[in-house]
Structure 1
Amino acid sequence: MSESYTTSTAFLESLHEAGVSYIFSNLGSDHPGIIESLAIARKQNKQLPEVITCPHEMVALSAAHSYAQVTGEPQAVIVHVECGTQNLGGAIHNAYKGRIPVLVFAGASPYTQEGELTGSRNEFIHWIQDVPDQRGIVRGYMKYDNEIRTGKNVKQHVHRALQIANSQPKGPVYLMGPREVMEEKAVPVTISREMWQPIAPKALPPQEAGQIISDLSKAEKPVIVTSYLGKNQSSVEELVKLSNNFAIPVIESVPNYMNFPSDHPMHCGYQWNTPEQNELLGEADLVLVFDSDVPWIPTTNKPAADSTVYYFDEDPVKQNMPLWYIPSKRFYEVDSYTALKQLNETINTAPLHEEIVRSRKEKITAYHQIQREEWKEAEKYNQDIITPEYLTACIREMIDDNTLVINEGISNFDTIYKHLQRNKAGSIIGSGGGSLGWSGGAALGAKLADKSKKIVSLTGDGSYMFSVPSTVHWMSRKYELPFLTVIYNNRGWKSPKLSTLGVHPQGTAYDTDQFWVDFDPHADLAQIAEAAGGAFACTVKRPDDLIPALEKAWKAIEEGRSAVLDVQLPTWRRTEKELELAGVQEKQDMGR
């Protein structure tokens, strides 16, 4: 039997040459060439990326997503024609919005039907799965898409795709190839990875750094806002330097990384959808925004009209957000690490008003301490119910600096950041997007990327079900990737309630408690993981049972077994304070 060199062989080789370690795959009738090439490589002891079988595409792309977040290296996802492409679902949105480099490859239905070429149609599904524009399914969420038409330049296509994926702003790319092309005999081609490097990071124009530092040295109430600067861990150190030199408070707005140490006296909290004005932001005379899509929500929270705003981002005009604007003195299309280094190197050229800086440091330190005391008060033990704040504080006491937290808490995003208080760069990540179900696959990808770390996934009950836990925990056992999942179980979708009440705080939905988001009857969520992957499963309803359950779960993952704690939070009703704040918008609308 001949073992020929085909387009599929060259494709797999190019992934290996480009530094791809894993292929998260969901194979189908379009992949005989790839399967054959993989089998030949195994027989020959030829090194290629390892195949990770993923029974659901959402999990596959979510795992590749977090792997890239942890390592900085893009991985590959292989899916089945247009059906598998669509089944990637919201994971495509998350990778695109989160600026995650990943290569997605899908086969395509054969384009011959009478045996003209190897791979010609021989199954009824090949007619049904033939669609006019398969690439169009994901084009709005990809930095680049193309079709492989011959094996003669397949390696160039792969390296170009990954070059684009790795260039700022990073993002997913999509290639497809019909069966006949992937079965085509090819001639080996040598490609040098060094010739296909991503575009170099962009810097500030030299004259601009001095002007920014000059304005900063004159400001009385400067503020820094960031959301995803921590994607580059080195940027955190540079941000700390800038903050220290000028005593600038830092606010994290909808963060999906650890952007600034929570215990630093200049850290002044997190902001999400809370319908109230942030005091420091409202008083600021100068605002520096680093890496943030939504630094504030202008209907309820924004800087003063006469404040000066500087915007630093890989994509400062958000070209793919049809409605987006933050009026600013200057917008800089830069790599934030590079820009921060420039600013820190320029500081010595501007006179510092030491008395202003000293006074500001004292004031902001006091603000920080009062804020932390308020957070601590909210963590108090309650003998009747498990509050999200108490739950998060208990988790904080259990984990350490070698723990990576996967955060998909949704309505408890704010609570998780406030009460975990992460201080080490790279110690917490979120998807960066808005499609639920990322956390399960993300936990697998993060553990695969660094097996020395403990992985803790914090998720709501809705996002847990979206994550396809049966697939996730089957994979966890098969590939020996243990992690702990803690479900913040509201027994329903809390976020749509919050959204409805944000517009109609005292409307009929509130009066009748009808939101159509309750999960009744309630599923035994932890048992799904036990049945699918042998996970340690426990439902916690009483506060006294929480810490013992966490200890057992922690021991399970140390012994190589995943664990799921389904923690029952109290049924939710909006507080009077929240109603009062949300009612501001309704009153404004009624007055128009």
Structure 2
Amino acid sequence: MYTAGTAFLEALYECGVRYLFANLGSDHPAIVESMEEGKVAGREIPTLITCPNEMVALSAAQGYAQVTGQAQAVLVHVECGTQALAGAVHNIAKGRVPVLIFAGASPFTQEGELRGSRNEFIQWIQDVHDQRGIVRGYTRYDNEIRTGRNVKQLVYRAMQFACSDPKGASYLTGAREVMEEEVPRVVLDTSQWQPISPCAIPDEGLDSLIEDLASARHPVVVTSFLGRNTNAVTELLKLVERLAIPVLESVPSYVNIPTNHPMYLGNQWNAPKQNAVLAEADLVLVIDSDVPWIPMVNRPSADARVYYIDVDPLKEQMPLWYIPSKRAFRADACTALKQINRRLEGVVIDETAVAERRSVIEARHRRRDEALRASEVEREVITSEYLTACVREFVDENTIVCNEGISNYDVIINHLGISTPGGMIASGGGSLGWNGGAAIGVKLACPEKTVVAMCGDGSYMFTVPSSVHWMARRYQTPFVQIVFNNGGWKSPKLSTLAVHPDGYASRADDIGVKFDQPSDYAGIASAAGGALGLTVSSPHEVRDALAQAFAAVRSGRCAVLDVKLAPL
């Protein structure tokens, strides 16, 4: 029997989907039956990954796509499973990561008119007015499969949307009767549904940008996620090395430039201070950044010429957003940088000015590096700087780090010092709990890599560790998870103090963010997935615990280090 469910699975595989991260329900009999039939028939279909929690499923698909660029698929149960995707939908949208989400829908017949008619009470209470509307604000495309005869075309179209800039999620639904429909097999050319080709800077805009770049005395590049395409990093290096342009990262979610590169001058998150390099710039080239600076506390001078390059320069999903710019271009970062580098080959440059600028920037880079190393000394309590410096001794070019350090995002970037493009990723969004599922997806995509997840204690709980570590053991995706445990949610406290520095909350012992009786984080992972669980309280224990953890992971077992930092 060849059904719409069979065609759906075939279409996924033809689009490059190798893993179907699934939380099955009463709406999926056709897909389950087709998967089992496919195994017997030797049909090429995606491998099912059972996910006890939907947010973990979507985070795993996100992690896989982030390191490969290849969208995977997530299968959830009607509107309940759609809602259980939780903040992972936000992360996919804001991080511009391609994925296809399929949810069943309640059957639309109830008296046995068609195979798949309602036969369970939940199929009445799970029938809602606008299931697709639950996620419409976060998806690139949504549709309902109404017949099995064009399932493949709809899957190809959904994947085309998901993989075209700005990338994101596509959401499809299909009722049981539709997915059970027997249909003729359709063979189509998937190349007719390729993602839209990357955009480039128009010639007249490129002329203006090149002229201003060549004449600038204090140019600077600001980026956040240019490094999602490692080829763009190569092109960025060509540009900044040729003209001696410093690079600042604002809320980075990828390795946009090796942190040991002499043109790298650091990253900024929510620190309430003006960046001196940004303030003195006469030209700012912003490439791939949603929030290049926070205007209330940190911005370029009013005289600076600002150029903005992004696949979504209008930020169409952000109601309040504007960066006053001389020019803004809808363009792919790698494509745009190649254009800039090619055009610069024929431009006369003031080499004396470039050499002087290079000397100043390299000196600033050295001073920054010296200050970072000085902050890594061992103290009476474990500091996040010391912990990260110790982790640095265990990572190499074969390591991928999933960074969800929240209030320690910048510490992890600064002190881990990842210099390999693709060697560190973050969710790109603002919903916590990504790192555990993402680590599973990364390991599935890159089984030869050592995967490390670094997170706060609050974000560790958001990962749903009972599901994460059960999955990691079952699917043999071991990773090291390091918990920066400061006994609560530090970020909400910092947010409150930033608005009310001398208010009542500043004098309160607990504003509702402390975990006074913390869970046994290491024990949860051990119980759920047989992970090596270690709790570390003294600086003297850190290196030995890390050695045990990395040894365990390289032998095929997850490891969780619950590291006690100075409490809130």
CA–CA distance in 2 between the matches of 1:234 and 1:294?
A: 22
CA–CA distance in 2 between the matches of 1:273 and 1:211?
A: 32
Where does residue 281 of structure 2 map in the other structure?
A: 284
| Pair 1:230-2:227 in alignment | yes
Where does residue 500 of structure 2 map in the other structure?
A: 504
* Letter aligned with residue 476 of structure 1: A
| Pair 1:39-2:39 in alignment | no
Matches within 5 A, 1:452-531: 452-531=448-527
Where does residue 420 of structure 1 map in the other structure?
A: 416
1:378 alignment partner, one of 367, 370, 375: 375
1:103 alignment partner, one of 87, 100, 103: 100
| Pair 1:12-2:16 in alignment | no
| Pair 1:569-2:565 in alignment | yes
Matches within 5 A, 1:197-346: 197-346=194-343
Where does residue 400 of structure 1 map in the other structure?
A: 396
| Pair 1:53-2:50 in alignment | yes
CA–CA distance in 2 between the matches of 1:453 and 1:564?
A: 18
What is the DSSP-based 3-state SS (H/G/I as helix, E as strand, rest coil) of the residue aligned with 1:97?
helix
| Pair 1:158-2:155 in alignment | yes
Q: CA deviation at 1:349?
A: 2.7
Q: CA deviation at 1:338?
A: 0.4
What is the DSSP-based 3-state SS (H/G/I as helix, E as strand, rest coil) of the residue aligned with 1:400?
coil
CA–CA distance in 2 between the matches of 1:404 and 1:266?
A: 23
Where does residue 582 of structure 1 map in the other structure?
A: none
2:110 alignment partner, one of 110, 113, 116: 113
Q: Is the 8 A contact 1:76 1:105 kept in 2?
A: yes
* Letter aligned with residue 351 of structure 2: E
Post-superposition Cα deviations, 1:188-224, rounded to whole Å, max 9, x if no partner, equal 0011111110000001112322321111111111010
Where does residue 432 of structure 1 map in the other structure?
A: 428
Q: Is the 8 A contact 1:63 1:444 kept in 2?
A: yes
Identity of aligned residues (%): 58
Q: Is the 8 A contact 2:282 2:305 kept in 1?
A: yes
Q: Is the 8 A contact 1:210 1:349 kept in 2?
A: no
CA–CA distance in 2 between the matches of 1:272 and 1:198?
A: 33
CA–CA distance in 1 between the matches of 2:133 and 2:323?
A: 31
| Pair 1:27-2:8 in alignment | no
CA–CA distance in 1 between the matches of 2:508 and 2:495?
A: 16
Superposed CA RMSD in Å reads: 0.7
What is the DSSP-based 3-state SS (H/G/I as helix, E as strand, rest coil) of the residue aligned with 2:411?
helix
Q: CA deviation at 1:355?
A: 1.1
TM score, norm. by length of structure 1:
0.95
* Letter aligned with residue 395 of structure 1: V
What is the DSSP-based 3-state SS (H/G/I as helix, E as strand, rest coil) of the residue aligned with 1:299?
coil
What is the DSSP-based 3-state SS (H/G/I as helix, E as strand, rest coil) of the residue aligned with 1:83?
helix
| Ranges in structure 1 where 5+ consecutive residues have no aligned partner | 573-592
Where does residue 583 of structure 1 map in the other structure?
A: none
CA–CA distance in 1 between the matches of 2:410 and 2:566?
A: 17
CA–CA distance in 2 between the matches of 1:505 and 1:76?
A: 46
Q: CA deviation at 1:95?
A: 0.3
1:133 alignment partner, one of 127, 130, 138: 130
Q: CA deviation at 1:354?
A: 1.0
What is the DSSP-based 3-state SS (H/G/I as helix, E as strand, rest coil) of the residue aligned with 2:352?
helix
Where does residue 588 of structure 1 map in the other structure?
A: none
Q: Is the 8 A contact 1:150 1:181 kept in 2?
A: yes
CA–CA distance in 1 between the matches of 2:111 and 2:145?
A: 22
CA–CA distance in 1 between the matches of 2:300 and 2:229?
A: 27
What is the DSSP-based 3-state SS (H/G/I as helix, E as strand, rest coil) of the residue aligned with 1:118?
coil
* Letter aligned with residue 126 of structure 1: Q
Q: CA deviation at 1:263?
A: 0.7
Q: CA deviation at 1:512?
A: 1.8
CA–CA distance in 1 between the matches of 2:318 and 2:564?
A: 37
Q: Is the 8 A contact 1:443 1:455 kept in 2?
A: yes
CA–CA distance in 1 between the matches of 2:20 and 2:359?
A: 52
* Letter aligned with residue 551 of structure 1: A
* Letter aligned with residue 458 of structure 1: M
CA–CA distance in 2 between the matches of 1:344 and 1:240?
A: 10
Post-superposition Cα deviations, 1:108-129, rounded to whole Å, max 9, x if no partner, equal 0001111111100000000010
CA–CA distance in 1 between the matches of 2:378 and 2:254?
A: 28
* Letter aligned with residue 101 of structure 2: V
CA–CA distance in 2 between the matches of 1:435 and 1:131?
A: 26
Post-superposition Cα deviations, 1:317-343, rounded to whole Å, max 9, x if no partner, equal 101100000000000000010000000
CA–CA distance in 2 between the matches of 1:426 and 1:467?
A: 22
What is the DSSP-based 3-state SS (H/G/I as helix, E as strand, rest coil) of the residue aligned with 1:211?
helix
Where does residue 147 of structure 1 map in the other structure?
A: 144
Q: CA deviation at 1:44?
A: 1.2
Q: Is the 8 A contact 1:258 1:422 kept in 2?
A: yes
| Ranges in structure 2 where 5+ consecutive residues have no aligned partner | none
Where does residue 547 of structure 1 map in the other structure?
A: 543
TM score, norm. by length of structure 2:
0.99
CA–CA distance in 2 between the matches of 1:418 and 1:515?
A: 30
CA–CA distance in 2 between the matches of 1:30 and 1:348?
A: 59
For these two proteins, the number of residue pairs brought into alignment is 568
CA–CA distance in 2 between the matches of 1:67 and 1:512?
A: 43
Matches within 5 A, 1:80-91: 80-91=77-88
